[in-house]
Amino acid sequence: MSLKEIGEFGFIDRISRGCLIRPEGVHTAIGDDAAVVRTGADRFLLVTTDLLVERVHFLREATSGFNLGYKALAVNLSDIAAMGGTAREAFVSIGIPDDCPLAFLDDLYSGMQHLAAGFSVNILGGDTTGSKQDLIINIVVSGTVDPPELLLRSSAQEGDIIYSTGYLGDSRAGLHLILNSIPADSPELSALFDAHVLPKPYLQEGRFLAASGCIHAAIDVSDGLSSDLGHILRASGVGAKLYAQQMPISSNLQVFCSRFGFDPIEYALAGGEDYTLLCTADRKEAARISEEYRAAFDRPLYPLGEITDTGRLELLGADNRLQDITPTGWDHFKDE
Ligand code: ADP
Ligand code: MG
């Protein structure tokens, strides 16, 4: 069997067997957005890590150091947000190729420090090494959460309403501009470019949702709606029905899709790196939480579907036809 056949997630399943040597004290091991460790009766420690590799996750010539540093930390903060947690400390490890200018690295730390300051996160350590060719950045972030407020991928229940805290598909549109060297020559394209390079960590929103007491499950959208919702469905043993007409699609994405001939629904379903929170709320509390969220953030919580007992991911199209969706988000190894 090859890595290509089992894919990134098959690989993680495979290596996770045998990793839990000392289960006491571990609440959630491999399989959620962060690991959850008991540190006392009233506190959970959250730990998450993400790796960014040049030419896989970013093109050095197409990014500023600031934006890269910001994003490398943002994607980790997003995982803490998806657990309902407060981010606390960060550790930054970096592999630096010879041709990387010091000014770029200074700028990278400015971007990281700017975001860290915005969310009261310390950078407490890391590691520095050379690299033969590619710039490599790995960040570990810790956080905390009160046990009753922990949000997991595995707690969705049939009947729950599925929400996103923001628009879906914008980041992939921004990536399309970068990969095709299309200038962001209008306010719409410029907003899509920003959505890709400066994703917002939804930490305050995650805390708000966790404290509301009516969110059952959550994940952040890193690989794409269909793929990340798929993780909730698998972990919770449920299915979901999405409504094409309710997809949170920005007017910027609409403009982009009409100009370049893409389908916005496809972008919303399969586009990754939006880093919005996807959560499932108790149906009976859904109206209340939506109202309170709007009052708190002056933005809507976007309802886009519901949890079902089918075990499948389905999309109700604008034509009222129901079709099965195969998760099509990002996998580092699979071909399709
Ligand atoms: P996310 O997109 O939220 O960062 P991932 O899909 O990267 O999550 O990872 C899913 C789970 O697998 C997480 O619990 C993560 O810590 C774990 N994981 C990923 N890669 C490895 C690895 N090489 N060894 C051990 N655990 C891993
Ligand atoms: Mg995640």
**Looking at residue 329, what is its pLDDT?**
64
Q: Which of 12, 78, 275 to mutate to test the pocket of ligand 1 (most atoms within 8 A of CB)?
A: 12
Q: Whose CA is nearest to atom 2 of ligand 1?
A: 222
Kindly identify the ligand whose nearest atom is closest to the C-alpha of 3.
Answer: 1
The total of other beta-carbon atoms located within 10 Å of residue 301's CB is 25
pLDDT at residue 261, as a whole number: 98
pLDDT tens-digit readout, 299-312: 999 999 999 999 99
Measure the CA–CA gap between 249 and 247, rounded to whole angstroms: 6
Q: How far is the CA of 284 from the centre of ligand 1 (A)?
A: 33
Ligand 1 atom nearest 228 alpha carbon:
2
Q: Closest Cα partner for 196 from 71, 79, 112, 299? A: 71
Using a 6 Å CB cutoff, which residues line ligand 1?
12, 15, 30-33, 50, 79, 222
Q: How far is the CA of 72 from the centre of ligand 2 (A)?
A: 13
Q: Which residues contact 226 (CB under 8 A, 6 or more apart)?
A: 269, 270, 313, 325, 326, 327, 328, 329
What's the pLDDT at 335? 59
Ligand with smallest separation from the Cα of 329: 1
Ranges under pLDDT 50 in the chain: 336
Q: Ligand 1: distance of its center to the CA of 313 in Å? A: 22
Atom of ligand 1 nearest to the CA of 220: 3
Closest CA to 157 of 62, 280, 10: 280
Predicted local confidence at residue 1, as pLDDT: 84
Q: Which residues are registered as beta bridge partners of 47?
A: 35, 142
**C-alpha to C-alpha distance for 139 and 94, rounded to whole angstroms:** 9
Atom of ligand 1 nearest to the CA of 32: 14
Closest CA to 169 of 271, 261, 266: 271
pLDDT in tens, 81-128: 999 999 999 999 999 999 999 999 999 999 999 999 999 999 999 999
Name every residue whose Cβ is closer than 8 Å to that of residue 231 and which is 6 or more positions away in sequence: 153, 219
pTM of the full structure:
0.96
Ligand 1 atom closest to residue 219's alpha carbon, by position in its atom list: 3
